[in-house]
C-alpha cells in the first residue's frame, strides 16, 4: 500500500490510521466497508482531542506532515531555511502521495463504503474548538494549512507551503507545544507535551516589578545567545513564582522558548532529557517547582552534576530555573553546625556540599509576601480586571476577612478571593 512507500513522513504515531485509510482507498468495496467505521472513529476522536475542524481527512494528513521529525524537517529547523539537496527530493517523493490523498472525493468514498456519514467529515463543524492538545494559535494554523495544502497544484507547491509553516511555527512535537513533562514509564525520561498550560502573562502578576524585570532580562539574554544564568525564584508561598514561569512560556514561545517540568524524583533522568534536546534549535528551560531537599535526600547530587561538574558540558540551549520557599535548598540541621564528630570527620565539608547547590544558581530572585497595603492593591487590581463593581470599602473588608481565614497576605490569597466573588455572583445571577 502507498503508506508503506513513504520514506520520510511514514514513521509517526498516526501511521496505523493512515494504513487503515490506505486499505480503505485501495481495497474493494467489501474491504472498504469494513475499514470505514474504524477510520471515521479515528477522525472523530482526533477532532474531539484537538478541536480540529474542516476536512478532517486533509487535516489528519496535515497533522502528520507538521509533527513528523525527520531528516528534512529537522534540517529546516536547524538551518532556519528550506533544506536543499537530495533530502528535498525525498520530501517531494513523499508529498506526491500526500497530494494524491488530499484529492480524494469523500462524497464518492461514502458511496463506495456505503457509509453516508463519510461525506460529513469533508466539512466538519466542531461544537467547540477548545481542543486539549494545542493552543488556539497552533490549532488554527494547522486547520488553515490543511486548506492551503489541499489547494496546491503539485508536490512542489505543497513543499513550499510546508517550508513556510516550519519556519514560522517549528517542527514536530517540540515545535508545536510550549511546555513538556516526563514520561518515565518505559524506564527512561521521555519528553511528552503538556496538553494545556494556563494562559498567564506577566501583567497578570500584580507587583513584583523588579523580580519580573530580572527574570525577563536573564531569559531574553538566553534567547539571543548571550551569557545567561540558571535562576532560583525563592520566597513566600503564593507570591507568583510558579506563575512567573508560566508567563515565560506564554511570552517567549514564539521566540523558541520551551519549558520542561521535572520533579525531584525524576532527576536521575536529567541526562536522558538533555540527550533529547541538546541538538534542537530551541531554547529549553528545565523547570523545577518547589525545589527543596531534606537532610537524608541525595537527589540534589544529580542536579549538581548536570549544572556543573560533569564530564559533559551542559548544552548552551539549556538553563535550569527552580522555585522554592527556601533560599538554601537543602535543610540544615544543628548537627551540621556542630564540631567534628566520630561519624563525620569533615563536618564542614558536608555543610559546604549542601550549600553549594544554591551557589549553582547565578541569578536568585526574591518573591516576598506583600504588605497589607500591597495585598489590598492586588485585590483591587484583580477585581477591576474581572469587572467586579462592588464598593471598594466592601471589597477590602472581604479581603481582610478572607486573609484571616486563609494563608495570609499573598497574590494567591487575593486571586482566591476574587474567584470566590465571581463564583458567588454567578450563582446568584444564575
Q: Which of 28-37, 120-129, 274-283, 363-372 has the lowest mean pLDDT?
A: 120-129
Instruction: Give residue for cell 474504524.
Output: 38
Determine the pLDDT at residue 80: 82
pLDDT at 330: 53
Whole-number Å distance between alpha carbons of 307 and 423: 45
From CA 277, how far away is CA 282, in angstroms rounded?
A: 8
DSSP class of 336: G
Nearest to 94 by CA among 74, 68, 76, 75: 68
**Sheet hosting strand 363-367, strand order edge to edge:** 190-193, 179-183, 257-261, 283-288, 318-324, 231-235, 363-367
* Cell numbers standing for residue 331: 535543610
For 278-309, the DSSP string reads TTSSSEEEEEETT--B-TT--THHHHHHHHTT
Enter the CATH code of domain 179-367: 3.40.50.300
Res. 218: pLDDT tops 90: yes
Band (340; pLDDT cuts 50, 70, 90) = very low
**Domain boundaries defined on the chain:** 2-172, 179-367, 372-429
Measured between alpha carbons, how far is 59 from 325 in angstroms, rounded to an integer?
Answer: 46
pLDDT at 46 over 70: yes
Confidence bin at 318 (pLDDT 50/70/90): very high
Average pLDDT rounded to a whole number, residues 104-116: 87
Neighbouring CB atoms inside 10 A of 249's CB total 22
**Confidence band for 95, pLDDT divided at 50, 70 and 90:** very high
pLDDT-derived band of residue 117, with 50, 70 and 90 as boundaries?
confident
Q: What is the pTM of this model?
A: 0.82
pLDDT, mean of residues 170-190: 89
DSSP state of 117: G
Nearest to 167 by CA among 76, 84, 104, 67: 76
**Cell 497533522, residue?**
63
Q: What average pLDDT does the segment 32-42 reach?
A: 88
Beta-carbon contacts of residue 55 (< 8 Å; ≥ 6 apart): 106, 121, 122, 123, 124, 146, 147, 150
Query: What average pLDDT does the segment 382-404 reach?
Result: 91
Amino acid at each position: 500500500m502507498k503508506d508503506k512507500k513513504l520514506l520520510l513522513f511514514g514513521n509517526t504515531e498516526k501511521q496505523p490510521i493512515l494504513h487503515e485509510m490506505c486499505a480503505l482507498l485501495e481495497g474493494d468495496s467489501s474491504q472498504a466497508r469494513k475499514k470505514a467505521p474504524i477510520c471515521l472513529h479515528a477522525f472523530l476522536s482526533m477532532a474531539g482531542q484537538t478541536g480540529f475542524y474542516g476536512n478532517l481527512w486533509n487535516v489528519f494528513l496535515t497533522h502528520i506532515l507538521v509533527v513528523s521529525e525527520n531528516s528534512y524537517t529537522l534540517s529546516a529547523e536547524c538551518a532556519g531555511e528550506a533544506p536543499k539537496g537530495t533530502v528535498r527530493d525525498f520530501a517531494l517523493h513523499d508529498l506526491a502521495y500526500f497530494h494524491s490523498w488530499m484529492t480524494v472525493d469523500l462524497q464518492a468514498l461514502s458511496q463506495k463504503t456505503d457509509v453516508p456519514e463519510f461525506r460529513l467529515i469533508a466539512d466538519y463543524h466542531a461544537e467547540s474548538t477548545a481542543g486539549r492538545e494545542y493552543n488556539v494559535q497552533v490549532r488554527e494554523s494547522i486547520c488553515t494549512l490543511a486548506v492551503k495544502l489541499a489547494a496546491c497544484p503539485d508536490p512542489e507547491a505543497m513543499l513550499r507551503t510546508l517550508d513556510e509553516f516550519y519556519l514560522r511555527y517549528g517542527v514536530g512535537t517540540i515545535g508545536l507545544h510550549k511546555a513538556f513533562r516526563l514520561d518515565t514509564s518505559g524506564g527512561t525520561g521521555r519528553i511528552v507535551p503538556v496538553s494545556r498550560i494556563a494562559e498567564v502573562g506577566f501583567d497578570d502578576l500584580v507587583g513584583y516589578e523588579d523580580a519580573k524585570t530580572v527574570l525577563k532580562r536573564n531569559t531574553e539574554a538566553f534567547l539571543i545567545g548571550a551569557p545567561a544564568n540558571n535562576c532560583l525564584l525563592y520566597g513566600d508561598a503564593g507570591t507568583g513564582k510558579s506563575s512567573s514561569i508560566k508567563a515565560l512560556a506564554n511570552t517567549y514561545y514564539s521566540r523558541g522558548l520551551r519549558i520542561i517540568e521535572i520533579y525531584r524524583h525524576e532527576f536521575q533522568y536529567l541526562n536522558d532529557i538533555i540527550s533529547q534536546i541538546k541538538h534542537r534549535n530551541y531554547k529549553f528551560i528545565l523547570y523545577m517547582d518547589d525545589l527543596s531537599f531534606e537532610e537524608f535526600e541525595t537527589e540534589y547530587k544529580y542536579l549538581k552534576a548536570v549544572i556543573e561538574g560533569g564530564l559533559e558540558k551542559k548544552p548552551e540551549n539549556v538553563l535550569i530555573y527552580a522555585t522554592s520557599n527556601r533560599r538554601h535548598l537543602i535543610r540544615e540541621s544543628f548537627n551540621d553546625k556542630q564540631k567534628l564528630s566520630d561519624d563525620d570527620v569533615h563536618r564542614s565539608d558536608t555543610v559546604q556540599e549542601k550549600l553549594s547547590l544554591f551557589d549553582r544558581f547565578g541569578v536568585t530572585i526574591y518573591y516576598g509576601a506583600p504588605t497589607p497595603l500591597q495585598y489590598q492593591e492586588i485585590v483591587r487590581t484583580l477585581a477591576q480586571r474581572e469587572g467586579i463593581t462592588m464598593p471598594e470599602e466592601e471589597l477590602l473588608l472581604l479581603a481582610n476577612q478572607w486573609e484571616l481565614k486563609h494563608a495570609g497576605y499573598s497574590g494567591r490569597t487575593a486571586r482566591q478571593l476574587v474567584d470566590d466573588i465571581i463564583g458567588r455572583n454567578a450563582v446568584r445571577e444564575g
